[in-house]
Amino acid sequence: MNNHAGISYSQGAKKALEELVNYLKNSREGKSPVVELRPMAELAADLNLAQQIREGGLNDENIQEFLHKYLDHSMHMHHPRYMGHQVAVPHPASAIADMVHGLICNAMSIYEMGPVAATIEREVVQWMLEKVGWQVEGGGLFTDGGSLANIHAMLAARAALDPHAWTKGVRQDMVVLAPENSHYSVARAVSIIGLGHESIVPIPTDRFEVVIPDTLPDLIHQQRDQGKAIMAIVANACATSTGLYDPIDEIADICQEHHCWFHIDSPHGATALLSEKYRPLLKGIEKADSVIWDAHKMMQTSSLSTALLFKNKEHYYQTLSQKASYLIHEKENPGYDVLPYQIECTKAAIAAKLFFVLAAVGEKGMGDFIENLYNNSRTFATMINNRQGFESNIPVESNIILFRYQPDKINQLTLREKLIKTGSFYITSTEVKGVRYLRLVIMQESSTAEHIEALLDKITEVAEGLN
């Protein structure tokens, strides 16, 4: 039996592409709602999911109709009024890379299963190492997301401190010093590798939740006096909630002086390395031991595509030492297998997405992109501050802007909820030192001052309905 029944690549993909092209045009022109959030059960019924799963029937004739509904009810990332989470708005070149992998499926963990994808990963990693400043001695790989990269980085730090942990189990005297506002994946990583949440020691931060480096030496001494071994010190570049960078250079010096592994959690902010103007935000990055850098945040690729980079390639080689003899064996290999050094077994061509975008825009184009977003965000914050009833008193360093509207009268969470329900904007919200803010993440150059003016108008209008 032909299990492709009714759907062909030539016709099905052509129809799908037509629909996607329309979707992209409408999204970019802001013709559709950014998102229309409907209850899950309603969506499942409308898309006829249960029946299709059981009976099949998707074919060259009806795929376009199905996709139309699918896309209609999805989040429209290319909409200029999407200002939500730190998820990249994919560049067409990244979407084409996904399309290629979607068909050829070269699972490139071992060279022979994906020679081109594996070669691309090597080249892209080398380029990223060079940007960090680790061209010669460094090593790294691509992995499925920043959360997994943080787990891997913590494993590397653990292996550096206690190489026996892999075979003998985990000592319970290890601690990790991390900012109070570090991403939840750091705490998860520490638990996953066997240390437990309580082994995270919060590093004090200032009123904007930026690490106060002067507090670190005392914290290190306190921990060591209590018999603790410091497995790693973590910094944000930038923090998820505020978009502010911790003082990397000062923290790095303290880590070096006290012989502590320094991990920079920079899936969002590392792309500033490509901008001459904003690279100083990462001053000292080359003194770290490990760095994570998501392409699917600020480098215009679809998710997921994360680089995990080590200053010392020995850490990259030695962290995971398990053997899979059917895959890892002595062989004449014309290329390089990444499998022994990564957590995944099967891995998609995730670096290829970044390669395709870079191949289209070049590193200068990517640098200009981030610089524009960071510049625009500063302008937008000033606009917000100049509007009656709005305040944006958290500095802007990246493309994240926090603000409040009439905080004495209005619950900011309710305001956000009502705003999103209108379908006209998608924004997020966060807390800084216990205070609730509305949060914009400016992810595309097509989000302009005009859209910000419209946003402020809309918020004012929605708020009137709440009074």
Ligand X SMILES: Cc1ncc(COP(=O)(O)O)c(C=O)c1O
Interaction site with ligand X (CB under 6 A):
86, 145-147, 150, 183, 185, 236, 240, 265, 267-268, 294, 306
Task: Using the minimum distance from each CB to ligand X, give the nearer residue, 235 or 339.
Answer: 235
**Residues 384, 405 contacting (CB under 8 angstroms):** no
> For residue 158, what are the CA distances in angstroms to 106, 191, 259?
32, 12, 14
Which DSSP string do the residues of 171-183 spell out, in sequence order?
-TTEEEEEETT--
Task: Using the minimum distance from each CB to ligand X, give the nearer residue, 294 or 337.
Answer: 294
Task: Using the minimum distance from each CB to ligand X, give the nearer residue, 306 or 447.
Answer: 306
| Shortest Cβ 296–ligand X spacing (Å) | 6
| Shortest Cβ 184–ligand X spacing (Å) | 8
Residue of minimal CB distance from ligand X? Answer: 146
Sheet with 229-236, edge to edge strand ranges: 139-143, 306-310, 290-294, 262-265, 229-236, 174-179, 200-203
| Shortest Cβ 144–ligand X spacing (Å) | 8
Helices (H), 193-240: 216-225
d(CA 456, CA 449): 11
Task: Using the minimum distance from each CB to ligand X, give the nearer residue, 110 or 291.
Answer: 291
Task: Using the minimum distance from each CB to ligand X, give the nearer residue, 185 or 199.
Answer: 185
**Residues 435, 394 contacting (CB under 8 angstroms):** no
| Shortest Cβ 238–ligand X spacing (Å) | 7
Task: Using the minimum distance from each CB to ligand X, give the nearer residue, 30 or 145.
Answer: 145
| Shortest Cβ 14–ligand X spacing (Å) | 32
- Give CA angle at 459 (437, 376), nearest 5°: 70
CA 181 remoteness from chain centre: 16
> For residue 299, what are the CA distances in angstroms to 89, 90, 91, 125, 378?
9, 8, 9, 14, 20
| Shortest Cβ 398–ligand X spacing (Å) | 11
Beta-sheet pairing, 290-294 with 400-405? unpaired
| Shortest Cβ 208–ligand X spacing (Å) | 15
Task: Using the minimum distance from each CB to ligand X, give the nearer residue, 7 or 156.
Answer: 156
